[in-house]
Chains A and B, each alone.
Chain A
Amino acid sequence: MSEIFSKDTIKNMMEANLSWTELREMMTTTPKDGDRLDKFIEILQERVKWVEKILLPVGLHLFIVEKEDGERVTKCECGYEFGDYRVNWKLNALIYARDGEEKLEEIYPGSWKPGPENWEIREFYCPRCATQLEVEAVPHGYPLIFDFLPDLDVLYEQWLGKPLKRPKQLEDRTCQFIRDNFV
Chain B
Amino acid sequence: MSDKAGLLKGKTLKELKTEIDELTKKTGYYAGLENLKLKEEDPSKYILFQGRIISALVAAREQCKMVAASALVREVGELLVTFYTSDGDCVGYSTGIQIHGHLAGEFIRWMIDHDYEERVGIRPGDIFMHNDGAVAAMHPADVYDVMPIFHEDELIGWVATTIMEGDIGEEYMMGETSYNRTTDGIRICGLKEGENYLLKGDVEEMYKRSLRNADMFLLDRRGAISADIKFEQEVKRIISEFGLGYFKQALREIIEEGRRIISARIKKRLVPGRYRSLTAADVFCKELPVPEYAAQDWLRLMPLEVTIKPDGGGIVDYEGIGEWGWHSMNSVIAGQYGGLTISMVQRLSYEGWANKGTILDWEILAPEGSLINPPKELVNHISLANVWVPAITSWGAPFQAILSRGLYCRGFLEEVLLGHGRTSGWELMGVNAMKQMYVWATYEIAGAPGMGARGCLDGENACYQVWNQETEMGNMEVLELIPPYMGELAVIPNTGGAGKYRGGNDVCSLLNIYGTDFTSIVPTVITCTWTSSPNSQLFGGYPGPTPTFFVIKNPKEKWAEGNIHLKALALAPWQGLDQMKYLEEKAPGAEITVIKRPKCFQVKDGDVAISYGFSGNGGFGDPIEREPRLLEEDLEKWSITPEAAERLYKAAVKHDQTEDVYQVDEKTTEKLRQAERDSRKKRGVPVSRWWKQEREKVLKKQFSDQVSEAYRSSFKTSQRWAREYREFWNLSNDFSF
Contacts and interface: CB of A to CB of B under 8 A. Distances in A.
A50 interface: no
Contacts of B405: 147-148
B680 A112 contact: no
Given A32-B268, A107-B498, A143 B724 contact: yes
Given A118-B531, A132-B622, A137-B533, A95 B275 contact: no
A97 B690 contact: yes
A148 B270 CA distance: 12
A141 B698 CA distance: 6
Contacts of A179: 730
Nearest to B614: A112
A121 interface: yes
26 contacts: A10-B411, A16-B627, A32-B268, A39-B411, A94-B686, A95-B687, A110-B573, A111-B546, A111-B594, A112-B573, A114-B532, A115-B546, A123-B684, A125-B680, A130-B680, A131-B622, A134-B538, A137-B533, A145-B278, A147-B277, A148-B273, A148-B276, A150-B273, A172-B274, A178-B730, A183-B730
Nearest to A23: B414
Contacts of B268: 31-32, 34, 159
Contacts of B545: 108, 112-113
Contacts of A60: 500, 539-540, 621-622, 625
Nearest to A131: B622
Contact of B269 (A32, A123, A144, A151): A32
B542 A135 contact: yes
A172 to B, nearest CB: 7
B592 to A, nearest CB: 13
Interface string A140-183: 11111111111110110011000000000010101100110111
A119 B540 contact: no
B267 interface: yes
Which 5 pairs show the lowest CB-CB distances between chains A and B?
A110-B573, A40-B411, A94-B684, A115-B531, A112-B545
Given A94-B680, A111-B594, 19 more contacts: A13-B456, A23-B414, A26-B414, A57-B408, A60-B625, A93-B684, A95-B690, A106-B647, A109-B573, A112-B614, A114-B533, A121-B533, A135-B541, A139-B707, A143-B725, A145-B276, A149-B274, A174-B728, A182-B692
Contact of B410 (A40, A109, A132, A147): A40
B304 to A, nearest CB: 10
A107 B542 contact: yes
B681 A94 contact: yes
Contact of A117 (B541, B690, B704): B704
Contact of A136 (B299, B535, B683): B535
A142 to B, nearest CB: 7
A138 B596 CA distance: 18
A90 interface: yes
B511 interface: no
B728 A150 contact: no
A141 B685 contact: no
B618 to A, nearest CB: 9
- Which applies to chain B's interface (DSSP): helix, strand, loop or mixed? mixed
A10 to B, nearest CB: 7
Contacts of B543: 121, 135, 137
B710 interface: yes
B215 interface: no
Contacts of A51: none
B272 A92 contact: no
Interface in B702-736: 702-704, 706-707, 710-711, 724-725, 727-730
Interface residues of B, number: 97
Interface of A: 10, 13-14, 16, 18, 23, 26-27, 30-32, 34, 36-37, 39-41, 56-61, 90-97, 106-115, 117-119, 121, 123, 125, 127, 129-152, 154-155, 158-159, 170, 172, 174-175, 178-179, 181-183
Nearest to B266: A159
B301 interface: yes
B154 to A, nearest CB: 37
B621 to A, nearest CB: 5
Given A36-B411, A60-B500, A149-B274, A95 B684 contact: yes
Nearest to A15: B456
A109 to B, nearest CB: 4
B421 to A, nearest CB: 10
B412 A58 contact: no
Nearest to A26: B414
Nearest to A29: B414
Which of B271, B542, B648, B676 gathers most chain A CB within 10 Å?
B271
Nearest to A10: B411
Contact of A182 (B540, B574, B730): B730
Given A27-B414, A133-B539, A154-B272, A109 B627 contact: no
B280 interface: yes
B546 A113 contact: yes
A142 B271 CA distance: 26
